Amino acid sequence: MAERVNYVKSVSFECNQCGKCCRARGDVVLYPMDIIRISKFLNISCNEFLDNYTQTYDWYGILSQIAIKSKKDKQLTCIFLNEENMKCKIYDARPIACSNFPFSQIDEKNYSVQIVPCVKSYNEGKEVIEFLNKSQQFLAEKEERKQIDEIVYLANKKIGHYYYLKNIIFKTLYYGYNSKKEISLQVRRRIKFLKLLLKF
């Protein structure tokens, strides 16, 4: 459950390492930059990471997205949660959705905050935008994320039932990256190709 916080000046929260945000998810959607970063951290190819550690997530409908895989337990625990010490096994390379938790960006001016035990109140504490703007990862990849979100949204409006296009876009967005090469250059080239393909 999420609450819009664009009209809330600040939010008080503190991670108590309970691991609740790592359970009952299946919706930790990955950007290509996350895929490359985590693959590099695990010292495996991007395709190997996708095949073994991710699942599709059908939030937008016809064009699926990639999300972190959940364990097949009752709590749908994230595959990277170490349940002995309740710590993330890929913490230093975790997805942007995790590093910004409990915040997520809806668009340029609107944000949401997860209603979870570590959020104490909605009118004191850290400013939402201040918190996000202190995240080097959030700032460094902001433009790429915006363009990818646009491609996913507009592709769903344009491609209709042309499943061959869906497959091309899906594969282009997520597969075949080289984790040993510079991230943003690879992503920008894919974005440019997809914009030409979709003509926007």
Residue-wise pLDDT tens for the chain (200 aa)?
455 555 566 777 777 777 778 887 767 889 999 999 999 999 999 999 999 999 887 665 556 688 899 887 767 889 999 888 888 999 999 998 888 887 776 666 666 777 777 777 666 666 666 666 666 767 777 788 888 888 887 777 777 656 677 778 888 989 999 988 888 899 999 999 988 888 76
Alpha carbon separation from 83 to 22, 28, 62, 67 (Å, rounded): 10, 18, 34, 20
pTM of this structure? 0.81
| The token pair that represents 54 in the structure block | 């991710």
Q: Count the domains in the chain.
A: 1
Q: What one-letter code names the amino acid at 170? A: F
**pLDDT of res. 6:** 54
**pLDDT of res. 54:** 92
Range of the domain at 21: 2-198
Q: What is the CA radius of gyration of the chain?
A: 17
Bridge-partner residues for 65, per DSSP?
Answer: 57
**pLDDT of res. 168:** 83
- Burial class from Cβ neighbours inside 10 Å (0-12, 13-18, 19+) for residue 14 reads exposed
C-alpha torsion sign, points 143, 140, 99, 58: positive
